[in-house]
Amino acid sequence: MSPSDEPTRQQPQLEPLRVDTARIVGIGVLLWLVALVLTLVIPALHEGDRSWWKWTCVAGAALGTLGWAYVRRGRGNASAA
């Protein structure tokens, strides 16, 4: 019996997952803010060679907030595509 003789099996159509994109981006922003607070509270995380860490957290929170606003306005959702 060759592979071409086997009956064809229909794969069920997969539906895309519905996710709340704004919530996911909001959680990311919250995590950046937690990282910023921890970086500022623990001196070893913002002194010396690690002085740039706090600015990375600020940039992550700021860009995440812009992304959150973009998604909330509906332009970042695939449903309108």
Per-residue pLDDT of the chain (81 residues; tens, 9 = 90+): 565 666 677 888 888 888 888 999 999 999 999 999 999 999 998 889 999 999 999 999 999 999 999 888 876 555 555
Cβ atoms 26, 68 nearer than 8 A: yes
The whole-model pTM stands at 0.72
CB-based contacts of 66, cutoff 8 Å, min separation 6: none
